[in-house]
Structure 1
Amino acid sequence: MYTKRRQPQRRNIYHFTGPVAVIGAGVTGASWAALFAAHGLFVRLHDQNPQRLASGLERARKHAIFLADHGMANPKSVEVGLRTLKPCTELSEAVDGAAFVQEAVFESYEVKGAVFEAVGRYAPRHALIATSSSGLSISRMQTAARYPERCRAGHPYNPPHLIPLVEIAPGEHTAPEAVEAAQQFYEGVGKTPVVLKREVPGYLANRMSAALWREAINLVLDGVASVADVDRAIHLGPGLRWAVMGPHLLYHLGGGEGGIRYHIEHLRDAKEAIWQDLDDWKKMPPETTETLERGLPGRGEL
């Protein structure tokens, strides 16, 4: 059933009485820490690199203050969260007693697996564990976890303190109640979760983006249009619609009184003709990088 998007309401966040641990103080980790702190949660930010931890902590503070200054967070909650935001160089300290662990370390099975293993040793058994990975298999990462049933993907669209989407994807061993609890937790900090019924590479948003980008590249390589015009065709056309609603609802509305059924019945042949003409290469053509670079402005021009 399709339901209208509603603004998430602050609720009792899965009865979370313990702190929230963010593992990794890079761009994504600092953004997560800011979001959690802005909602008044007791946050521990961990990174084994002291310099990265210090810069991540400062970035998290600035992000949280930005949310308060722009009416996106309660200033009192931000004040509480920043007062209790704690940097930790030891992972064991960060996850001690934690109710929720958001991992945001380097995109590598080896690195993330080591984090999952360590969290299993030092965090309480009831702690939920989420990986911010954008494409690695959660099922494979679960093999390193002591309690794999508590682990699943909680993939944000960066930066997570600003963009509401978070993708919750279960692994092979994820318990259904862990997915439900994660959904409640993320809603409680203002996120809009989408829940995958099963794990697929790229989850939802990146998977659909990859499909669109392949065709965008192909249109340039085939000489159909320039890089600039392909980009304009998206951001000045369907991109404006997509900022409001997704493709299924758009076509449902486009079908008028008949809805999606009318749309499919009357445009099936036209859509199928386009699909038959789309390329389906699985490896990026070797000329892609140089061709796109020639069509894009230099970094200094942006």
Structure 2
Amino acid sequence: MSQEINLETLTTEASSKYNNLDEMSITAILEGINNEDKTVPHAVEKAIPQIEALVSQIVPRMKQGGRLFYIGAGTSGRLGIVDASECPPTFGVPFDLVIGIIAGGDTAIRKAVEYAEDDEEQAWKDLEQYDINELDTVVGIAASGRTPYVIGGLRTARNNGVLTGSVSCNIGSEISKEAEFPIEVVVGPEFVTGSTRMKSGTAQKLILNMISTSVMIQLGRIRGNKMVDMQLSNHKLVARAENMIIRELGIDRTLAETLLQEHGSVRKAIDAYRSSLR
């Protein structure tokens, strides 16, 4: 039996400002989408104080060995996984420092798992597999702010002394009520009514970028404005690393290549060279 859900009050479900999309020209469609996308950064800007409040709580916990977890379903869950998966190559941190969990498990990354988001108990079960503890942080992501998987995960995490944050696109959402540090970014109706993979998804991606990047900078994973701890996993990244070393030390490429091969990271190469000059 289907559960009756009232979506009428949600901004994310409000009717598009554009009518008869199926009769529009391609140009009109693209311009309409682009015009709506332009509003997203301004909405995110209004949420900066909320983002700062959460980051300020995450950093000291991670300095003591805590981890950052993202939980979500559908697009929101996938966005959390994307952000988490980019932290090791970008900042050189362990793969299990920032962890993205999606309702329905890894299968749901590519293919929707029916009703996975409706289980309020499953998120905590998923988190327990990582021996979650009081130094960790759980950030629940849900455009609607009413996903049961996320609500239940945040509630149980908070009851177990885990720091909780949330990212949603409706004011006064259910996940905001469960999180100690909620972030609400209201981007308004989607170009295609209810398609929160669009503006809402873009807003969530921007906020996750801000959370993880600011946290990693505070943890010392950026020097100046450079990714000095990035993983050297392909030729492009090796070339980027060599260029960083050349600019920072004022040496030629041959020496930069040698230093990088010897020490394995930009940070270590720069520090070793400077130490040798003392």
TM-score class normalised by the smaller sequence: under 0.3
- Structure 2 length normalisation: TM-score? 0.27
- Structure 1 length normalisation: TM-score? 0.26
| More RCO (CA 8 Å, sep 6+) | 2
